[in-house]
């Protein structure tokens, strides 16, 4: 067979060649604009040209601090297109972590959204490698800033060559992108994505048995483009020539609902908190969501009650998936096998609420100690994954040896596997509540609590206990309409039938808000820290 490398540039080339008329809808600070793939292709080539003129060379890292919009999409292809490395930076991290990762990645240039400028200005004196700041503004004039040197994205593009060729001399194992994932302690850890990994992952997203991304789709990535490449959707959607919608900065649930209705979005992707917000909006408004064929949900486990609302109340298929920064990210996706389609609705919901089947192309095992667990939906163990779009290290980081062993990624996630091979995440290894020598799944308790009509958000953490080592404590945010109308005992009674008595939380604490990570996951570390003396003082 020909030794033709799998390259990120070739994904855009297909869209330019076969789908030049298809549309990109992009929301920025000044409103909504529309582009075709032909235009995006020309702008991307101009940008690639501009990057080379700025001195960016093969292997150099190109940083972005940006929301989801068409310019960010252009950098997604322009950087790998010249052999450079697209480094998307999580703008919700602390200033210390942001400057750490820019320095650690040795970013040569930074692309910055206009509204993110203050964040970058605040850390600029700590940046050691950045030679240029490129401001993505819709205005003709650059905003005043203390950064230097600064360039206007649109001015750079104007001067570029719309026929600029993408790099040909490239190995498919060369780096194309990178992303940092936050660590429980210490600095974020970098993961490098190869051209090969991104292309194979794009194949995986197009399979009929996974997300079936297609030219017929209108794809709206709500998950930020700085969060594992928006789960790879912009790459795959471009390759297949799908229409794409980018919701831009500071979007609201209302805006998402409007986009779904007006642009006829068919598939959208985001974390559970996004979908909780959307559900709330759908309850209040009167939206036509009939175009949606799938809501892809990952990042953390989706509560069963939420899945039920989408599937049964709104008739929107829910695609529950699992992955992490280290897995590009798609690793598993909930799917009904052909012989399961006539099961009772409740059984189907149970399957849908699992993280599902391993995606074709990957290997997995779930181990407890040295042995693989039985596939009985009960035995818990740590999930290990292997495959061509799974990282093999953290970038220049001693912590590599903690997660990568014997050719496997140790995910740190505790899972069961049912008879059909479906993964169900039970917990993070570090979030399991260890009580009296036994394990209690915080996630199972959370899901049970979330099923109560009054509960908006629930999280359960293990709190040090003088007698039992740890005991579970639930932190609850009630829906507005139920505030101060539900008490601890009611919630405990509600979930009691599902659990052994010793699994039930010792305490339920009502809060206005649960602290979350920059990507919307519950910040259990923060809660554990707040509650660490709870039983010891008591």
Contacts with a copy of itself by CB under 8 A lie at 1-4, 6, 10, 14, 17-19, 21, 173, 192-194, 196-197, 199-200, 203-204, 206-209, 212-216, 239-241, 243, 328, 335, 337-339, 357-358, 360-361, 363, 386-392, 407, 409, 420-421
Closer residue to a copy of itself, CB minimum distance, 2 or 538? 2
- The helix/strand/coil state of 364 is strand
Least distance to a copy of itself, CB of residue 156, Å: 29
| Active-site residue, from 326, 382, 446, 470 | 326
CB of 206 to a copy of itself, least distance (A): 4
DSSP assignments along 299-349, one per residue: SSPPPHHHHHIIIIIS---EEEEEE-GGGSSEEEE----GGGTTS-HHHHH
Instruction: Report, in Å, the least distance between residue 13 CB and a copy of itself.
Output: 8
CB of 123 to a copy of itself, least distance (A): 30
Calpha distance 243→363 (Å, rounded)? 32
User: Active site includes 211?
Assistant: no
CA angle, corner 157, sides to 167 and 179, nearest 5?
60
23, 8 Cβ separation under 8 angstroms: no
d(CA 12, CA 419): 40
Instruction: Report the C-alpha gap between 471 and 474 in whole angstroms.
Output: 10
| Widest pairwise Cα distance in the chain | 70
Q: Which two tokens stand for residue 248?
A: 């831009």
Nearer to a copy of itself, 173 or 489 (CB): 173
State the minimum distance, in angstroms, from the CB of residue 184 to a copy of itself.
Answer: 23
Instruction: Give Cβ neighbours of residue 2 (< 8 Å, ≥ 6 apart).
Output: none
Active-site annotation holder among 38, 131, 365, 434: 434
Helix (H, G, I), strand (E, B) or coil at 462: strand
Distance of alpha carbon 91 from alpha carbon 97, whole angstroms: 10
Q: How far is the CB of 70 from a copy of itself (least distance, A)?
A: 20
Q: Which of 129, 439, 488, 507 is catalytic?
A: 439
Pick between residue 200 and residue 276 the one whose CB is nearest to a copy of itself: 200
326 catalytically annotated: yes
Q: How far is the CB of 216 from a copy of itself (least distance, A)?
A: 5
The CB-of-376 to a copy of itself minimum distance in angstroms stands at 15
* Of residues 307, 524, 339, the one with CA closest to residue 428: 524
Given the complex with a copy of itself, which of 198 and 307 has the nearer CB atom? 198
Q: Which of 44, 181, 218, 266 is catalytic?
A: 181
> Which CB atom, from 108 or from 214, has the smaller least distance to a copy of itself?
214
**CA angle, residues 287, 288, 290, in degrees to nearest 5:** 145
The torsion of the CA quartet 426, 310, 277, 497, rounded to 10 degrees, works out to: -40
Q: Is 115 helix (H, G, I), strand (E, B) or coil?
A: helix
Q: Would you say 323 and 329 are in contact if contact means Cβ atoms under 8 Å apart?
A: yes
Nearer to a copy of itself, 160 or 387 (CB): 387
CA distances from 522 to 272, 277, 518 (A): 11, 15, 10
Helical axes 272-284 vs 253-262, angle rounded to 10°: 70
Nearest residue (CB) to a copy of itself, 207 versus 523:
207
Element (H, E) at 425: strand 423-428
165 vs 487, beta carbon nearer a copy of itself = 165
- What is the rounded CA–CA span in Å between residue 44 and residue 38? 10
In the complex, what is the shortest distance from the CB of residue 166 to a copy of itself, in angstroms, rounded to a whole number?
Answer: 12
User: Residue 245 CA to chain centroid, in angstroms?
Assistant: 17
For residues 232 and 88, the answer to whether their CB atoms sit within 8 Å is: no
> Rounded to whole angstroms, how far apart are CA atoms 443 and 433?
10
* Nearer Cβ to a copy of itself (339/437): 339
Which residues are catalytically annotated? 181, 326, 434, 439
């Amino acid at each position: 067979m020909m030794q033709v490398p799998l390259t990120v540039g070739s994904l855009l080339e297909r869209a330019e060649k076969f789908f030049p008329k298809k549309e990109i809808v992009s929301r920025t600070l000044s409103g909504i604009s529309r582009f075709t793939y032909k235009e995006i292709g020309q702008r991307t080539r101009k940008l690639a040209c501009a990057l080379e003129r700025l001195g960016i060379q093969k292997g150099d890292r190109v940083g972005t601090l940006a929301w989801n919009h068409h310019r960010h999409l252009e950098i997604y292809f322009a950087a790998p297109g010249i052999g450079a490395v697209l480094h998307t930076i999580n703008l919700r991290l602390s200033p210390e972590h942001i400057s750490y990762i820019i320095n650690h990645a040795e970013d040569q240039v930074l692309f910055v959204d206009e509204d993110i400028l203050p964040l970058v200005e605040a850390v600029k004196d700590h940046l050691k490698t950045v030679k240029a700041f490129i401001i993505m503004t819709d205005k003709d004039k650059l905003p005043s800033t203390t950064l230097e040197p600064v360039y206007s994205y649109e001015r750079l593009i104007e001067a570029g060559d719309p026929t600029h060729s993408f790099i040909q001399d490239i190995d498919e194992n060369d780096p194309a992108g990178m992303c940092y994932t936050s660590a429980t302690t210490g600095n974020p850890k970098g993961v490098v994505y190869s051209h090969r990994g991104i292309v194979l992952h794009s194949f995986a997203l197009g399979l009929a048995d996974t997300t079936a991304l297609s030219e017929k789709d209108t794809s709206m990535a709500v998950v930020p483009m700085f969060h594992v490449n928006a789960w790879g959707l912009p790459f795959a959607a471009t390759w297949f020539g799908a229409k794409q919608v980018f919701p831009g900065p500071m979007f609201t649930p209302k805006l998402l609902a409007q986009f779904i209705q007006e642009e006829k979005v068919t598939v959208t992707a985001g974390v559970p908190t996004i979908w909780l917000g959307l559900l709330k909006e759908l309850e209040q408004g009167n939206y036509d969501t009939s175009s949606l064929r799938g809501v892809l949900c990952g990042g953390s486990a989706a509560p069963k009650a939420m899945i039920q609302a989408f599937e049964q109340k709104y008739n929107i298929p829910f695609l529950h998936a699992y992955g992490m920064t280290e897995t590009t990210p798609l690793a598993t996706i909930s799917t009904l096998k052909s012989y399961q389609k006539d099961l009772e609705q409740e059984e189907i919901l149970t399957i849908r609420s699992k993280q599902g089947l391993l995606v074709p192309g990957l290997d997995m095992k779930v181990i407890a100690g040295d042995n693989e667990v039985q596939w009985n939906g009960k035995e818990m163990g740590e999930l290990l994954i292997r495959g061509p779009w799974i990282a093999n290290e953290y970038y220049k980081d001693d912590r590599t040896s903690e997660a990568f062993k014997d050719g496997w990624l140790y995910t740190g996630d505790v899972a069961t596997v049912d008879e059909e091979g479906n993964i169900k995440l039970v917990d993070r290894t570090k979030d399991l509540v260890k009580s009296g020598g036994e394990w209690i799944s915080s996630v199972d308790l959370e899901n049970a609590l979330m099923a109560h009509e009054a509960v908006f958000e629930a999280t359960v953490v293990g709190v040090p206990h003088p007698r039992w080592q740890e005991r579970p404590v639930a932190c609850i945010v009630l829906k507005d309409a139920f505030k101060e109308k539900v008490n601890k005992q009611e919630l405990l009674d509600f979930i009691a039938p599902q659990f052994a008595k010793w699994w039930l939380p010792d305490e339920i604490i009502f809060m206005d808000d649960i602290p979350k990570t920059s990507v919307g996951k519950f910040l259990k570390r923060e809660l554990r820290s707040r509650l660490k003396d709870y039983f010891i003082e008591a």
